[in-house]
Amino acid sequence: MSVDVQPSHIDQIKQANIGLVYRLIDQYGPISRIALSKKAQLAPASITKITRELIDAHLVKEAEFHEPGFRGRPAIGLKVDSEGWQFLCIRINKASIVVGLRDLSSNLLVEEELPFSVLQNQSFLDCIVDEIDNFFFRHQSALERLTAISIIINAIVDPINGIIHSSPYYDIQDIPIGAFLHQRTGLPIFLQHGITAWTIAESLCGTGKNYQNLIQLVIDDNVGAGIITAGQMLHAGNHSVVEIGHTQIEPDGELCYCGNRGCLETVISIKNILQKARSLATQHPYSLVNTMTIDNVPLTIDLLCQAAIEGDPLVTDIIHDAGEQIGRIMAIMVNIFNPGRILIGSPLNNVKHILYPAIQQQISQRSLPGYSQQVDIVATQFDNTDTFPAAALIKQSLYSGELLIALMQG
């Protein structure tokens, strides 16, 4: 090592090592220092030093445990000390906001979903701050040491600078929510697109855990994707998301709000699938869709899935077709990213016995056999209403060491 090594470089290594040790304690604790040293591939002296610092900062504590296969006296191991450390998770939805308080181990302490709208002559930021203040006021007794605020929203965001550029649901432009909340609270503020945060959550604690290459497809009102390649979130640091939903699959299809025609989203979003089912049902008098929606009962995705589960041929065909259309696009993605897993986050997971084989069949037929044979399709662990993805941003920052260092420095 040369003598003029920049201090920032050493700091980065120190930060990464602390993050790694903390992650291993979180995942395997209680774990002995020896086991930790082996897993982290760090010298025992480094482990002693790092764990001492974490213990002093009350982020880790010692705990007795029985090592598997050993009888007799319990060993001393380390586990995460999340008591008293809290953070706030906020999910901004269309017309509602979910505010939740979690401890540092991501356990939910209290959560509320509230109607949210921005009235004229009020600013978006003021409305958010009001909701946070009111939440704190109502739950004063549950509050301990607040360490960070994490916000997710399905909008165009700049996560690095904490800016919401625009939203499909709110008339806003370039809102510096990160800087504003940091100024008011002094806390680190995390901001991320909802799907990106969701994919991070799945890769840390969900069905994408331990996969270095992952594609998560979200099929809901919107169709989007999150991609992890070589362990890194694609586009995590810029304004982009993977715009798979705006890939044309029907040249003469419906006009999309993006300006093009026949985008995947205009065909397979939940809204469009329901629309298609309603319109085709008029030509299929025996379809369950007709009996289910008698007396003007609105057709919901739950009812549609129920019809498919009961074997309704029309609905089965509609879902199978959607699967094939998804599969054609996913085949290209498989060839580019060679994922170990494809995760599907969608209410259509209720009919995965129809959807997944249709996707799988198209991937097998259209992508490199060496790639397609090793990919499996599974449902996400979390859903599109969860605030856990916001918590995952905190976890990610703890694991990278960044937030840990901030907490240790008080």
| Contacts to Zn ion by CB under 5 A | 246, 256, 258, 260, 263
Least distance between Zn ion and beta carbon 330 (Å)? 18
Nearest approach, Cβ of 50 to Zn ion (angstroms)? 49
Q: Which is nearer to Zn ion, 218 or 289 (CB)?
A: 218
Is there a contact between 25 and 78 (Cβ–Cβ < 8 Å)? yes
Q: CB neighbours of 76 closer than 8 A, spacing ≥ 6?
A: 32, 62, 63, 64, 65
Residue the block writes with tokens 């994922």: 339
User: In terms of CB distance, is 5 or 258 closer to Zn ion?
Assistant: 258
Nearer to Zn ion by Cβ, of 155 and 263: the residue is 263
Least Cβ distance, residue 262 to Zn ion (angstroms): 8
Instruction: Considering the complex, state which of residue 81 and residue 265 has its C-beta at the smaller distance from Zn ion.
Output: 265
Instruction: Specify the residue, 91 or 193, whose C-beta has the smaller distance to Zn ion.
Output: 193
**Rounded least distance, CB 328 to Zn ion, Å:** 16
First to last CA, the chain: 31
Nearest approach, Cβ of residue 343 and Zn ion (Å): 23
Given the complex with Zn ion, which of 225 and 407 has the nearer CB atom?
225
The least CB distance from residue 157 to Zn ion, in Å, is 19
CA 209 – CA 205 distance, rounded (Å): 6
Of 126, 21, 131, 147, nearest in space to 78 by CA = 21
Tokens of 245: 């939903």
Instruction: Calculate the alpha carbon distances from 5 to 10, 49, 142, 226 in Å.
Output: 8, 22, 46, 37
Name the residue nearer to Zn ion (CB basis): 127 or 256.
256
Q: CA-CA-CA-CA torsion for 62, 66, 69, 70, nearest 10 degrees? A: 90
Smaller CB distance to Zn ion: residue 10 or 258?
258
Query: Looking at beta carbons only, is 263 or 333 nearer to Zn ion?
Result: 263
Question: Considering the complex, what minimum distance in angstroms separates the CB of residue 103 from Zn ion?
Answer: 41
Give least dist CB 44 to Zn ion, A.
Answer: 56
**Smallest distance from the beta carbon of 243 to Zn ion, in angstroms?**
8
**What single DSSP character describes residue 386?**
-
Nearest to 195 by CA among 18, 345, 402: 345
The DSSP code sequence of 236-303 is TTSS--B-GGGSBS-TTSPBPTTS-BSBHHHHHSHHHHHHHHHHHHTT-TTSHHHHHTGGGPPP-HHH
Distance CA 294, CA 298 (A): 9
Query: What is the gyration radius of the CA atoms in the chain, in angstroms?
Result: 24
Nearer to Zn ion, 187 or 332 (CB): 332
Residue corresponding to tokens 């965001």: 157
CB of 268 to Zn ion, least distance (A): 12
Q: How far is CA 2 from CA 5, 7, 145, in A?
A: 6, 12, 42
Strands (DSSP E) along 21-71, which ranges? 60-65
